[in-house]
Amino acid sequence: MKFFVDTADTKAIAELNDLGMVDGVTTNPSLILKSGRDIHEVTKEICDMVSGPVSAEVIALKADDMIAEGRKLAEIADNIAVKVPLTWDGLKACKVLTDEGKMVNVTLCFSANQALLAAKAGATFISPFIGRLDDLNIDGLDLISDIREIYDNYGFETNILAASIRSANHMSECAKIGADVATAPPGVIKAMANHLLTDKGLDQFVKDAKEAGIKIV
Ligand code: E4P
């Protein structure tokens, strides 16, 4: 499973990128707002740092306007994936932009039917939002399983990009289901390294090393 980082925080991306943990980046208008930076400037900086797809989201609601914005965003770098919402207009924009050879990430997906439409429209990525479904007491991971089954039934090549990930547990569950990509905030990716038994075991080893007077360098 590929790891995308769900942030526009360039320092956080750089730290994970140096560790080889970044196969791509996803942003959205809320993350751009949080960064406090200009969308063109920060997106360019991210694209220069990361070789994989970098999702940049349109803000228009009409297909023609989304297409114009998508073309503009795609000028930033070759690795831009234009992010469009899963609306009828978004699907129209997806078809036009993918036909032009651009990567398109169809976002705000909350049902298997929406994912089916995005695949038919040629989406490069479909972004089902796990956490926002969980918030409504609907199991977001079930949606990932349903989309995996449907795409495999018909050989759709659209990549399942599990989004709105809130916990390290979501990451391993997505990997078990077979999501192609999971995009998570930097904190969630780092939390994947944590285990209480690791901390406990390390405490003991540190104590025993002191008692044994072990010196290595
Ligand atoms: C990424 O593509 C999505 O925009 C993001 O994962 C949404 O996450 P949230 O539901 O935590 O805002």
Mean pLDDT taken over the chain: 98
Query: Coil, helix or strand for 84?
Result: strand
| Active-site residue, 83 included | yes
| Closest atom of ligand 1 to CA, residue 166 | 11
| Closest atom of ligand 1 to CA, residue 28 | 4
The radius of gyration of the chain's CA atoms, rounded to the nearest angstrom, is: 19
Alpha-carbon span 107 to 126, nearest angstrom: 6
Summarised one tens digit per residue, pLDDT across range 160-206 is 999 999 999 999 999 999 999 999 999 999 999 999 999 999 999 99
Alpha-carbon span 29 to 193, nearest angstrom: 29
Burial of 20 (C-beta count, 10 Å sphere; 0-12/13-18/19+): exposed
Q: Report whether residue 7 contacts ligand 1, using a CB cutoff of 6 Å.
A: no
Alpha-carbon span 72 to 87, nearest angstrom: 20
Q: Report whether residue 105 contacts ligand 1, using a CB cutoff of 6 Å.
A: no
Closest Cα to atom 7 of ligand 1: 164
Q: Report whether residue 6 contacts ligand 1, using a CB cutoff of 6 Å.
A: yes
Minimal CA–CA distance to 22: which of 62, 64, 53, 65? 53
Q: How confident is the model at residue 148 (pLDDT cuts 50, 70, 90)?
A: very high
Domains of the chain are 2-187 (3.20.20.70)
Minimal CA–CA distance to 59: which of 50, 49, 51, 69? 69
Closest Cα to atom 10 of ligand 1: 164
This prediction has a pTM of: 0.97
Per-residue pLDDT, 3:
98
Alpha-carbon span 209 to 13, nearest angstrom: 35
Q: How confident is the model at residue 7 (pLDDT cuts 50, 70, 90)?
A: very high
Is the C-alpha dihedral spanning 205, 206, 208, 212 positive or negative?
positive
| Distance of CA 129 from the midpoint of ligand 1 (Å) | 7
Catalytic residue among 2, 44, 62, 83: 83
Per-residue pLDDT, 88:
98
Q: How confident is the model at residue 16 (pLDDT cuts 50, 70, 90)?
A: very high
Q: Which of 126, 129, 188 to mutate to test the pocket of ligand 1 (most atoms within 8 A of CB)?
A: 129
| Distance of CA 163 from the midpoint of ligand 1 (Å) | 6
Query: Coil, helix or strand for 108?
Result: strand
Minimal CA–CA distance to 169: which of 135, 203, 192, 145? 192
